[in-house]
Structure 1
Amino acid sequence: MSATRPQITPLRETWRQLMASARSRAPRLRASLIGLGISAALQGLALACLIPLFQALIPTAHHPSADWQAALPWLLLMTGLMLASMLLCWRAQGFDYRGDMVDNTHELRTELGEQLRRIPLEQVQDKRAGEVNATLLGSVDENLSYLLTIANMMAHALITPVVVALAVLCFDWRMGLILLLVFPLLIPLYRWRRPAFGRGMRMLADAQQRTSADILEYVQGLPVLRAACCAGIQAERLQASFKHLETIQTVGQQKGAKPNLILATVMEMAVLLVVFTGAWLVTQGTLDVAILAALMVIVVRFGEPLATFVLYAKVIDLIEAALGRINAMLRIEPLPQILPAQVPQSFEVVFEGVSFSHAQASKPTLQALDARLPACSLTALVGPSGSGKTTLTRLLMRHADPQAGRITIGGVDVRAIEPERLNALISVVFQDVYLFDDTILANIRMARPEASDEEVGAAARTAHCHDFISRLPEGYATRVGDIGGRLSGGERQRISIARAMLKDAPIVILDEPTAALDTESEVAVQGAIDALVRDRTVIVVAHRLSTIAAADQILVIDGGRVVEAGRHGEMLADNGRYARMWQAQQSAKNWHAGR
């Protein structure tokens, strides 16, 4: 079976995508590109003026001396056309100089950032952070940064020679026809090499994204890698990524060297054919030597641009690869919204027949799960790892939608609640706290940006973190470092609780926030949690059962279903799954104590 031939994106489709990516500045970009084309055409007309100019200046049998009076108008016309071409080119490239390109890339990045807010978080989590970073930075820059420079080169390599050839037809139809036959050679040569260019650019873009992701992952994980004595091992993986990128680049250069040499040779030979043909016609006495002299100047001017045209066109594939990555991100559909939008008046949470499977999972994570979480109560979710506890809370926050069933808050389907309002209804305290490299004040205030300093301080006091903040050199103005690395685990956790306190949402999700803390930090954090959960609907994902013994209800989840439910004492008395889990944890605790 023959291999499938690579698809070549039509240039009109590339043009359409490019104009779409230019957004509000598409008219200016279109005007700039058209301006470059007209500039190239004017330059072609200017060069064509060399023929009558040389005819006036080069002595022949008909006029043995130079006719400056006849040459002057052509010289002035050529000068005027060249100046007009330069002026138009300068104005056309104003898209770069005026800052339109910078504004366009900013607009495109902003739109991509807004898209990240809309698309299902499950799809974002499937991508590595470095890959998203490469799309937001590299792809956007590749989209426009080189566009006008390459467009200018390609216009002068294509449009200018064609205009010259058409003008030469007016002086000698044979040479004009030869030129018109030579220049279109670029099209089949370009189509021959373009699939390879496109494939190479896509492979290069993928390798660069992978390397970007590996670099980011290595830098962020360096403290852990050093502690585990694995920095060298992970560095080997990073080096392998670098090596892969180097291989892609080397193979691209090696495979492209011979075809590129062939292309350059063919075009150089074509240009020489024009000169040899003209020389032969001169010896036959059927071509004016002035026309040949002018053509020699012209073809020397075009020799290099024509020979390297296909290499210029290679950047089109770079732009197409960037557009492909941008469009792939923008094509991701946000979760559907049920209309009309509704606002819950109470905060009871109900899961009705909820089934959910992750995109790459071999079996369902949740299967026809039913659960009712009363308003202003504390419900604990317990069960083995991978049983679906965290997935349940993420579906409540609409990181994704279940494939079957529905989730309601106060009787309102979460799909009918506007995303911003749903986010405002739920506060989350994760086990692994993420703080931004900003001040403590900014990290707490992000829960409610309009909050005053006094309100932030009040939330910090309630979360039992005001005292340690006050001891820091710059207090609330202290920067916490990347991912909050300058603070201890307990301090980070209390700041995240202060953030949740300031948000003051009626539903609170706690993902085992004390699991990784020492005893002293756990006492402080537990006190902050007690203040946070008061008079709220609280969901706790618990691993240590001793922390949820006082819960209003405990749901044991296994295999994506609720297999047992009740209060702590009742479930111990039933001697079921929960009782066995409790006994196993107590035995482990007694074993540690007796060592």
Structure 2
Amino acid sequence: MESKIKPTTFLQSYRAGKTIAGENSPEYKKSMLLFIAAFTAEGLAYLCFFPLLSCLFAAEPSAGGAALWLFAMMLLVALGLYCRWYGHDFDFKGTIVDVAHRLRLNLGEKLKSMPLEKLYSYKTGTLNNVLSVGVEYSVLSIGIVSSVIIQTVIPPVLLILVTFVIEWHLAFAMLVLFCIAVPVQKWHRSGSSKGKIACGKALAQVESDVLEYVQGLPVLRSTNQVGERSVGLQTALRHHKKVQTRSVVELIAPMVVMSGIVEIGLIAVLTIGVFMIAQGSLALSVAAALLVIISRFSEPLSLFSNLTQVFDIVDAALIKITELLSIKPLAVSSPPAELQQFDIAFSQVCFAYAKEDQYALQDVSFSIPAGKLTALVGPSGSGKTTITKLIMRYADPRKGIVKIGGTDIKQIRQEDLMKNLSVVFQDVYLFDDTVLNNIRMGNPDATDDQVKEAAQKAFCHEFIDRLPDGYNTAVGDIGGAMSGGEKQRISIARAILKDAPIVMLDEPTAALDTQSEVAVQKAIDTLVADKTVIVIAHRLSTIAGADNILVVEEGKIAEQGTHAELMTLNKRYAAMWHAQQRIKAWNIPGN
């Protein structure tokens, strides 16, 4: 799909609809052809007023002729209704629902395969908006938008063409009116479209901030940052109000102009008609028929103007969806490889995050032997987490190579890479599901007994057994019903069940009390047995026994070695160790 689609014309709308319809595009094409036939029949039915009224207003009225033309009108109207009815089969038979469902699945696949760096650049509220109302609005282009454009264009064009044959002066006046309305409508669309896109972005920001506000409400209450003091949310709401106000102003002016053009133009056409009747150059029957036709002529212009906001909503939704669908996954270099060995090596790796010029990692080189424990230590922002992200192929380095088992990570499919990685984060995310299903995420094919065995190895079987429904207890939104230590042990049970050969730990015990830390540390000891382990550590005492310690500072490897070797160097690591030992020695005397 193109990065931006603006279906302001039937052709653009039709192409957008075909793209969205996907495998159902033949049904969509049939629907559009039926709508074209329906509104062509409708236009021809109105044109029957010319001969019908001529028969009635003739010096010698012809009832038979009038009846014949009336019957022709009825047939055309019936044909139009028939075509419109079956044109809406796309909606009535549920095809449009299937299209929306498939589009959501495609977006879900895109979220699953897009680079993590790009995924993290989107706010949660923006993605939620695209996957929910964005999909609903985009499928409008399949039926409503295209059919409305057909309805707006075909009948007036037919009426003008036939009127040229009957009375070219009036037809020319109608054509001028139609031609003036087109640029005004484009002006209307331009202002309204910009406003809708700006409003959409502002609303997505509000949704993200509301979600963040609700999730962080306990913290906000504790710091008295609620109501008007909630700066982030209030700022987003004020911005949305400002954008919405400007959008309304930009929308109203063209609407007023369009309304004025339609009214003044129709009055002008009728005035010309009356003047021609007075001069005797226009038959009364023709004038009566034109009166009916002109009233029908004004409907599409008014309809199209009033539905501008609908078009703009569809445009904004399509733009967001096409932006998401156009994101390409990280390419897998040929030939694709499967991992057999699990040592890790960085060779002169340089990396900078998107839209940042400063490198987060600069010429980083090191090796992590298979089956050994390697610790990453250093101050916050030094690049430790960036190293673990590159191992997960969060993004590709600007320079250098990351290898696993001697294979360039670019040759490994994402699903094969993640199959061999287990990650235990400092901030554990549990889904609003049962304890059993949260652990089973590590291996969806695991039996209940295997899940419970992993829980026992993670030292969480005991507290799970005390829960109201045991393993079938719901953990609550984001695991809110669990303590920090309990959540950590559940996440470790999940990793044990996955049994991946490479394990990455992001300071899993940093925020725990002593009792929880001991339990979690026991669980970690079970998890990392015979694995290639990378652990980010701030508490140096927890990694003193590591096989290798990498000291990361300002995006570079400042030192590396065992605890003993680094203490002998008496540089950065030794200074950090001594500082932490002094903190442990602090003693606050009692009163």
More displaced, 461-470 or 236-245?
236-245
Is 386-395 or 197-206 further displaced after alignment? 197-206
Pair 1:411–1:91, CA change in 2 (3 A) = same
User: How far is 1:592 from its partner?
Assistant: 4.7
Residues 1:341 and 2:336 aligned together: yes
**1:407 is the counterpart of 2:406:** no
Q: Secondary structure at the match of 1:145?
A: helix
* Conserved? CA contact 1:14–1:320, under 8 Å: no
The number of residues matched between the two structures is: 585
Alpha-carbon distance in structure 2 between the residues aligned to 1:350 and 1:146: 50
1:559/1:242 CA distance change after superposition, 3 Å:
closer
Residues 1:422 and 2:423 aligned together: no
Deviates further, 449-458 or 291-300: 291-300
Aligned residue for 2:465, secondary structure, equals: helix
Contact 2:191/2:250 (CA < 8 Å) preserved in 1? no
| 2:21–2:142 Cα contact (<8 Å) kept | no
Residue pairs, 1:19-418, within 5 angstroms = 19-58=18-57, 60=58, 62-63=59-60, 66-145=61-140, 148-232=143-227, 235-418=230-413
Instruction: Tell whether 2:437 aligns with 1:442.
Output: yes
- How much does 1:193 deviate? 2.8
Give, in whole Å, the separation in 1 of the partners of 2:378 and 2:247.
52
What displacement does 1:150 show?
4.0
Deviations along 1:281-315, one digit per CA (max 9) or x if unpaired, are 22222222111111112222333432342332443
**Most deviating of 125-134 and 192-201:** 192-201
How much does 1:244 deviate? 2.4
Using the alignment, how far apart are the partners of 1:403 and 1:52 within structure 2? Answer: 76
Which of 523, 533, 547 is equivalent to 1:552?
A: 547
Distance 1:575 1:593 in 2: 29
1:362 CA displacement: 4.4
Q: Alpha-carbon deviations, 1:305-352, whole Å to 9, x = none?
A: 323423324433332222221111122221121111112322111111
User: Could you tell me how far apart the structure 2 residues matched to 1:239 and 1:124 are?
Assistant: 26
Deviates more, 1:79-88 or 1:483-492: 79-88
**Displacement, 1:443?**
0.8
CA distance in 2, matches of 1:267, 1:541: 70
Distance 2:531 2:392 in 1: 16
Cα deviations across residues 45-94 of structure 1 (Å, max 9, x unaligned)? 00111121112223x4x21xx42211111111101111111121122122
Tell me, in whole angstroms, the C-alpha distance in 2 between the residues paired with 1:499 and 1:343: 23
Residue type of the alignment partner of 1:179: M
Q: CA deviation at 1:180?
A: 3.5
Paired residue for 1:561, among 536, 556, 564?
Answer: 556
User: What secondary structure does 1:22 align onto?
Assistant: helix
Counterpart code for 1:17: A
State how far apart, in whole Å, the 1-side matches of 2:20 and 2:447 are. 40
Three-state SS of the structure 2 residue aligned to 1:369 is strand
Partner Cα separation in structure 1 for residue 174 and residue 122 of structure 2: 52
Is residue 448–residue 502 contact of structure 1 (8 Å, CA) maintained in 2? Answer: yes
User: Counterpart of 2:320 in structure 1: which amino acid?
Assistant: R
How far residue 233 of structure 1 moved from its aligned partner, in angstroms, is 5.2
In structure 2, relative to structure 1, the CA distance for the partners of 1:592 and 1:105 (3 Å cut) is farther
Q: Could you tell me which runs of 5 or more consecutive residues in structure 1 were left unpaired when the two chains were aligned.
A: 1-6
Equivalent residue, structure 2, for 1:495: 490
**Kept after mapping to 2: 8 A contact 1:157/1:302:** no
Deviations, residues 100-125 of structure 1 (Å, cap 9, x unaligned): 22211211111111111111111211
Q: Is residue 32–residue 146 contact of structure 2 (8 Å, CA) maintained in 1? A: yes
1:423 counterpart letter in structure 2 = M
Label 1:22 to 1:592 Cα distance change in 2 as closer, same or farther (>3 A). farther
2:501–2:532 Cα contact (<8 Å) kept: yes
Deviation at 1:449, TM superposition (A): 0.7
Distance (whole Å) between structure 2 residues aligned to residue 15 and residue 149 of structure 1: 11
CA contact (8 A) 2:503 2:531 kept: yes
> TM-score scaled by structure 2?
0.94
1:131 match: secondary structure: helix
Deviation at 1:261, TM superposition (A): 1.2
Q: In structure 2, the residue corresponding to 1:428 is in which secondary structure?
A: strand
Structure 1 stretch 478-487 or stretch 13-22: which is displaced more?
Answer: 13-22
Question: How far apart, CA to CA, are the structure 2 residues paired with 1:192 and 1:394?
Answer: 47
The separation in 2 between residues aligned to 1:508 and 1:569, in whole angstroms, is: 24
Task: Tell me whether 1:531 sits opposite 2:526 in the alignment.
Answer: yes
Q: Which runs of 5+ in 2 are unaligned?
A: none
Contact 1:45 1:167 survives alignment (8 Å):
no
Kindly indicate whether the alpha-carbon contact (under 8 Å) linking 1:463 and 1:525 is maintained by their aligned counterparts in 2. Answer: yes
Q: CA 1:96–1:592 in structure 2 vs 1: closer, same or farther (change >3 Å)?
A: farther
C-alpha separation in 1, matches of 2:139 and 2:474: 36
1:437 deviates by: 0.7
Q: Which residue pairs with 1:585 in the alignment?
A: 580
Aligned equivalents of 2:16, 2:529: Cα separation in 1: 53
Amino acid at match of 1:557: V
C-alpha RMSD of matched pairs (Å): 2.0
Length-normalised TM-score, structure 1: 0.94
2: CA distance between counterparts of 1:528 and 1:547? 14
Alignment partner, residue 4 of structure 1: none
For the 8 Å contact 1:39–1:88, the answer to whether it is kept is: yes
Pair 328,423 (structure 1): closer, same or farther in 2 beyond 3 Å: same
